Amino acid sequence: MSRTFVGWPAFPRAAAAATQDMQLRSNVTRATGTIRGKRAKLVTERPDWEDLRDSAAALKDEVLAHLDRYLLQAEEQVTAAGGTVHWARDAAEANRIVTELVRATGEREIVKVKSMLTEEIGLDNALEAAGISARETDLAAAIVQLGDDLPSHVVVPALHRNRGEIRDVFVREMGRHGRPAPQGLTDEPAQLAEAARLHLREKFLKAKVAVSGANFLVAETGTVVVVESEGNGRMCLTLADTLISVVGLEKAVPTWRDLEVFLQLLARNATGERMAPYTTTFTGVTPGDGPQRFHLVLVDNGRTRALADRVGRQALRCIRCGACMNICPVYERTGGHAYGSVYPGPIGAILNPLLKGPDDPQTASLPYASSLCGACNEVCPVRIRFTDVLLKLRHEVAEGDAKVKHPVEKAALDAVGAVMEHPAAWNAAVRAAGRVGPLMPRKRLPGPLRGWTDTRNVPEIPKESFRTWWKRTDGGTK
Amino acid sequence: MNVALFVTCLNDALFPRSGQAAVTLLRRLGVDVDFPSAQSCCGQMHWNTGYRSETLRLARRFVDVFADYEAIVIPSASCGGMPAEAYATAAEAAGDMGLVRAVRELVPRVHELTTYLTDVLGAEDVGAYFPHRVTYHPTCHSLRAAPVGHRPYRLLCAVAGIDLAELPAQQECCGFGGTFSVKNAAVSGAMCADKARHVVETGASVLAAVDNSCLMNIGGRLDRDGHPVHTMHLVEILARTWEDGPVPELPLAAGAVAR
Ligand code: SF4
């Protein structure tokens, strides 16, 4: 069994540990800084960038508003093109469907194209339990899999690892799963890529079954679209006999024409490239060319729950470009694992509670994993307003139906609010602050406020508040 | 003119000198500024932590206190953005359409201080003198919630004697985030440490911003590490004139001339 996020600690604890890991901090800072810079440069090349974002957001909203229609259309088209469509309500159902499909082929080792959804549903472990080994072929996903690690980024799952660490994983693990790493492997990127190429080529050529996700599903023709940088996806999608694409409900786009909007945005925003090196599209089955059996598994797993949230549903526009995590100052200091999900960073902070409901302490801690600085709002290609959704989700915890509550905080804020609401009480409170000020410890606050003084002093409380000064001096005139 | 200062609860209790500077500056520019003492808090802390019913009560209070003023000036981008950002949403969610209307009517008259200076008063050179090395941190709310754009820079550039140093990575959050700074203190502290390091790198003796909340955060770190950088709300710089002279406890900027 490979590692999972099950039982992960709530964000504050996981994040506090991550901020102490200086190797992790430097890996993440370097990687996000590089991608951020590349993205910023390429985005300014496009004078119509903001218009593209508008179009992308509008298209996704159209799909979400008529999801039933677009999905049924896609199903009809895939079926007409010789494919089979399966519907999965949740992770367990999706895993069962895929496992049975693979079993029916009699294959024991299959290949995978990087897919966040299959990570989300824990497909690898489900297959393993059925005696099927599914090997990742995307370089970063393979690094994570070989190292029995967990993904920390939606575009670059091994973003938290540096070259030296990757070399060590290759040397240690490749031999146990196929062709070993070449003798004398160094941490030169070209050498690492070559080692991965040799190791993976064996898998591509042997595998009869491939599992992929999808970046988009074009409803008008039932076409699955996979966008990638390395060509491993192209190999899986063309060499296998049986292809199983596991796709989230929200991936539909109406027409090919609409695809042009997303393809212009995705690579620039994700990796800072003008266009992704490989964009593979396939529709059902073409006799004599490519996989001769095609299955599309459409997965809900909480997406309709998110869709029911009027503010939160915008999170389903996400095209997994990773820009929000690359720009996020919190993510930069914690890395992705602290979020306890395959979806980290700002999108993880909103999407996980929307998909799962904020009823366990880990998920319920995510909407607070943000300083609300709003940097993510500015880079998201589909204009998700993260801060609006975060506030809505906090409201659900504070005053709504969420099961996890913060009674101490509520009592404190209620008390402050009650004082602030009444002029006389507030006047008295501000005056009192000036009197107790000198008694207050500046380097060690008590109770839940202690975290502040772990690294910061508190300011001295002045003896005279503004309102007292105003009154005493008659508005500064005396 | 019938202008009210909404000083904010934080400035009232912890940073009265910023409120005093705002009064001094506005008067100097010919504004007859009033301080309605029934004011308290904009409700931002409640709003950002998810407590909407409390926010709603404070929104009602805000509207009651300020409804009759021609302009409401706020020395904080973060509190200054609250009425426009939150009040209507909170009122709508509660079905209080009367409050929604009142908020819509009031919001165009609510101004963050630097925006009020440049856009309403049309001032850029406010007659300030400040012969010290200053760096400016654009707070997240001043970039994104109540976007003030280049206004603070324009105001600062027009200050006589000032030596402005550019802050590296200035657009990055200082890590305050209200309750974030205690709920996720470790991450907040790590963000703040980087911000404080950048401030020290500039060699400035003063760090300025339009939000004392962020300055309290960064200043708390600078203080803890023993760096003698002073934090000042931008209005405290703008309020000083030739008559006041240099700030005695601050080193003079290189090449500064005292009259
Ligand atoms: S939420 Fe927006 S920025 Fe973040 S990964 Fe999704 S599309 Fe990209």
B13 touching A (Cβ < 8 Å): yes
Ligand 1, atom 8: nearest CA belongs to which residue? A321
Which residue in chain A is spatially nearest to B46 when comparing CA positions?
A413
B75 touching A (Cβ < 8 Å): no
Which amino acid does the sequence have at B232?
M
Ligand 1 cavity residues, CB under 6 Å: A 154, 318-324, 347, 379-382, 384
- Phi, psi angles (nearest 5°) of residue A293: -130, 130
pLDDT recorded at residue A442: 76
Q: Does domain B133-238 have CATH number 3.40.50?
A: yes
Interior/surface letters A231-252, b for 16+ CB within 10 angstroms, e for the rest: ebbbbbbebbebbbbbbbbbbb
- Is the pLDDT at A428 greater than 90? The verdict is no
| Cβ–Cβ gap B41/A420 under 8 Å | yes
Strand partners of residue A253: A218
pLDDT recorded at residue A190: 95
| Cβ–Cβ gap A394/B50 under 8 Å | yes
How confident is the model over A100-119, as pLDDT tens digits? 999 999 999 999 999 999 99
Among A420, A458, A469, whose Cβ lies nearest the Cβ of B20?
A: A469
Strand partners of residue A41: none
User: In the predicted model, what is the mean pLDDT of residues A225-247?
Assistant: 94
Question: What share of chain A in percent tops pLDDT 70?
Answer: 96
**Banded model confidence at residue A465, pLDDT cuts 50, 70, 90:** very high
- Is the pLDDT at A345 greater than 80? The verdict is yes
How confident is the model over B202-225, as pLDDT tens digits? 999 999 999 999 999 999 999 999
Rounded Cα–Cα distance for residues A85 and B208 (Å): 60
Rounded Cα–Cα distance for residues A237 and A112 (Å): 9
Question: What share of chain A in percent tops pLDDT 90?
Answer: 83
- Is the pLDDT at A413 greater than 80? The verdict is no
pLDDT recorded at residue A195: 96
User: In the predicted model, what is the mean pLDDT of residues B56-71?
Assistant: 95
Angle of CA points A212, A217, A218, to nearest 5°: 145
pLDDT recorded at residue A409: 73
What is the token pair recorded at A103?
Answer: 């079993």
Ligand 1 atom at minimum distance from A346 CA = 4
Q: Tell me the count of A-B CB pairs closer than 8 A.
A: 205
**Banded model confidence at residue B258, pLDDT cuts 50, 70, 90:** low
By three-state DSSP, how is residue A248 classified?
Answer: strand
- Phi, psi angles (nearest 5°) of residue B160: -70, 140
Best CA proximity match to B204, nearest among B144, B249, B163, B169 = B163
Ligand 1, atom 4: nearest CA belongs to which residue? A324
How confident is the model over B231-256, as pLDDT tens digits? 999 999 999 999 999 999 999 998 77
B83 touching A (Cβ < 8 Å): no
Q: Is the ipTM of this complex over 0.85?
A: yes
Per-domain residue ranges for chain B?
Answer: 3-120, 133-238
Among A15, A420, A450, whose Cβ lies nearest the Cβ of B184?
A: A15
How confident is the model over B83-127, as pLDDT tens digits? 998 999 999 989 999 999 999 999 999 999 999 999 999 999 999
pLDDT recorded at residue A423: 67
- Is the pLDDT at A420 greater than 90? The verdict is no
Ligand 1, atom 2: nearest CA belongs to which residue? A380
Residues 122-161 of B with CB under 8 A from A: 140, 143-145
How confident is the model over A60-98, as pLDDT tens digits? 999 999 999 999 999 999 999 999 999 999 999 999 999
Least confident window among A172-176, A190-194, A325-329, B178-182: B178-182
pLDDT recorded at residue A476: 86
In chain A, the domains with their CATH numbers are: 11-303 (3.40.50.10420), 407-472 (no CATH)
Which of A49, A320, A352, A390 for mutating ligand 1's site (highest number of atoms within 8 Å of CB)?
Answer: A320
User: In the predicted model, what is the mean pLDDT of residues A277-292?
Assistant: 95
H helix or E strand, kind and range, residue A43? helix A22-44
